Amino acid sequence: MTEKDVVICRCEEVTYKELIETASKYNCSARELKLRTRASMGYCGGRTCRSLVDKIAAEIESGQRNQISLKYQPPVRPVHFGDLGRVEE
């Protein structure tokens, strides 16, 4: 496994290689990169990968535009961990 095969967005299974290739090909902002690859659009809402998506887009873009960081999106309604693992009898 190489560095480029590392999965950055676990929810949508987006790899580092995918992000780099997409950002390079389309000269994406962070928002565009998110929309093109679905990185940070999974269950966690970008809690684990948002900063890396921002960083990759900023490196590729290298100051050509004003970089807008991705918005943090909390779940629509909170879910307790106990509810997720509860077994109905």
Q: List 9's β-bridge partners, or say none.
A: 14
Domain span at residue 42 reads 3-85
Confidence of residue 14 (pLDDT cuts 50, 70, 90): very high
Strands of 13-54, DSSP E: 14-15
What's the Rg (C-alpha) of the chain? Answer: 15
Six token digits for residue 24 = 């390079």
User: What is the number of domains present in the chain?
Assistant: 1
Kindly report the pTM of this predicted structure.
0.66
Which domain CATH number covers 41? 1.10.10.1100
Q: Give tens-digit pLDDT for 29-60.
A: 888 999 999 998 888 888 888 888 888 888 87
Distance (Å, whole) CA 12 – CA 39: 6
